[in-house]
Amino acid sequence: MKYISGACESGFLKSITIAGALIALPMSSSAAGVTMDDINNDAKTTGDVVSHGIGNQGQRYSPLAKINDKTIKSLAPAYTFSFGGEKMRGQEAQPLVHNGVIYTTASYNRVFAINAETGMQIWAYEHRLPEGILPCCDVINRGGALYDNLFIFTTLDALIVALDTSNGKVVWKQSLGDFKAGHSATSAPIIVDGKAITGVAGGEFGIVGMVRAFDAKTGKLIWERPTIEGHVGTLNGKPNGMTGTLNATWPGDLWKVGGGAPWNNGTYDLETDTIMWGVGNPAPWNSHMRPGDNLYGISTIALDPATGKIKWHFQYTPNEAWDYDGTNHTIAFNKGKQKLAAHADRNGFFYVLDRTNGKLVNAFPFVEGHSWATSIDLKTGRPIEAGKRPGNPADSADGKKGAVVTVSPSFLGGTNWYGPTYSPDTGLFYVASNEMGMDLWNEPVTYKKGAAYMGAGFSIKPLFDDYIGAMRAIDPMTGKRVWEVKNKAPLWAGAMSTGGNLVFYGTPEGYFKAVNAKTGEEVWQYNTGSGIVGSPITWEQGGEQFIAVPSGWGAAVPLWGGEVAKQIEGINQGASLVVFKLY
């Protein structure tokens, strides 16, 4: 077995940004770096996992089948690696594996390199966070990217950082914005044509969303594309066209603090050479302040990876009023000759798009609670709203609080950031779904740098007494719900399907579960000791199939969940990576 040791040779000069200047640093070199071919073929190869989503197209599917619906009874932990210390909180990462080494992030922007066979730590890196960071939803991180001899990830103080995979030392850093103004970052970058591409978080503070592409080896900025109309992108330091048309769908000057943070990671479709990235809610939440569709908020935008220009877009919720962030994964898949993309939105509807042009193919609800709209018009792509917008504070007697509406889904969504999985074996998507509603009202708000810019209040509640979460198998072409497995608590973790006719997912109660991909029958479970909000992976090594999942309760639900959070109080926090194999 080969793995990266702590020993290395000094070699290439790289750079680090300090006070806006790129400064050269020595970089260690290794003969077995990750190539673009490795990344582009990640969904087909089984000896490693070198991209978020087990392939840039984001299907979260592995053809491995040694662990299957028959053999899984013999699945047991091979080892547990502790992230340790007092910094437990939510563990939302998806690990990566290359050359017998697991690379994963943990809460508070820590990174670990672990011997994949023994579970022993090779090195660890802890990013020093400044005072005054403004994360929305816990001190989580969702993982990183591998390219060449680098592990690249983003930080809560809005940096993108590249580490040497042989020793964990910093090779380069670049800024993604001013953390004091509300910029932060939690998502895993994707690697396309040698570029590390990432978004930024902070829409609730009125920052303007941006997708940026950096040279993955040097950290040099190549292009940036604002995600709110009126702002101008750049290519190699020069203006490269405005996003949209100034004031076409935004009034006055509100576009200047328009939100639209692309805070989740994107996907890349090699067949059409297109990056698909989800854009978050416009700011502020109070939609009465910003009449118009507010492009490109709550949209998937398709980007040219060479230039960052927008090829097409699809907006899920025009003039969005409920914080139905559009950042959920847009996943590439094919049906016959059709090149399609699927998106399960926080608004409770599942969309199928033609990924060559962004045209709507199908849309249907995947949750019971979708009271804000009755359906999606398949000709226009626009929702048929049901009169559930919160009232305008200006219409109230005191001007301080608009009329309250009770609406579902809640702003935590019918699903959220965590990836569904698509199995080409069954042709089904498997979506971790949640049935939550909310009382929602609008309030006046004025932008102030570094202050919450929402203009809304809320209270979240479960819709049903017997369950909140449900793993659902969905036919994207017919909208049929093939099966579902209900869960008392909400589901907040990524799923994975395999060639072994299995779907894996975790629960807040701490269970890592496997169900039959065709029937939904539960065939295996293991309690990891803390709630699971991370994403599993699988790979083959030394003739054995391994599965790994992070365990550690935290993130948005206990922070924002209202009555839902109260129902699941008492879940132990944790910070570990649990690795399984057959015995």
Which residue from 529, 530, 546 is spatially nearest to 538, judged by alpha carbons?
Answer: 546
Write the secondary structure of 562-581 as one string of H (helix), E (strand) and C (coil). Answer: CHHHHHCCCCCCCCEEEEEE
State how far the alpha carbon of 227 is from the alpha carbons of 245, 255, 278, 314, 549, in Å. 12, 10, 10, 13, 33
Q: Is-catalytic flag, 325?
A: no
Write the secondary structure of 201-261 as one string of H (helix), E (strand) and C (coil). Answer: ECHHHCCECEEEEEECCCCCEEEEEECCCCCEEEECCEEEEECCCCCCCCCCCHHHHCECC
In the chain, what are the helix, strand and coil shares in percent, each to the nearest 5?
5, 40, 55
How far the first Cα of the chain sits from its last, in Å, is: 20
Question: 583: buried, middle or exposed (CB in 10 Å: 19+, 13-18, 0-12)?
Answer: exposed
Q: By the 8 A CB rule, do 100 and 117 touch?
A: yes
Q: Identify the helix (H) or strand (E) that includes residue 38.
A: helix 36-40
Question: What phi and psi values does residue 71 have, to the nearest 5 degrees?
Answer: -85, -15
Strands 428-434 and 232-235: unpaired
Determine the number of helices (DSSP H) and then strands (DSSP E) in the chain: 3, 42
Peptide bond into 284 cis (omega under 30): yes
Amino acid letter, 12: F
Question: What phi and psi values does residue 256 have, to the nearest 5 degrees?
Answer: -70, -25
To 10 degrees, the CA torsion angle through 471, 77, 147, 36?
A: -70
The residues pairing with 173 across neighbouring beta strands, listed in sequence order, are: 161
Q: DSSP per residue over 293-320, as a string?
A: --TTTTEEEEE-TTT--EEEEEESSTT-
Distance CA 426, CA 415 (A): 21
Identified catalytic residue from 323, 354, 395, 465: 323
Distance CA 436, CA 452 (A): 24
Q: Half-sphere exposure (CA, 13 Å, Cβ side) for 271?
A: 12
State how far the alpha carbon of 340 is from the alpha carbons of 67, 128, 351, 380, 426, in Å. 29, 42, 10, 18, 16
Query: Who contacts 171 (Cβ-Cβ below 8 Å, separation ≥6)?
Result: 14, 16, 25, 27, 150, 162, 163, 164, 219
Q: By the 8 A CB rule, do 352 and 363 touch?
A: yes
Q: By the 8 A CB rule, do 205 and 448 touch?
A: no
Both tokens of 158, joined, read 């809005």
- Residues marked active site are found at 323
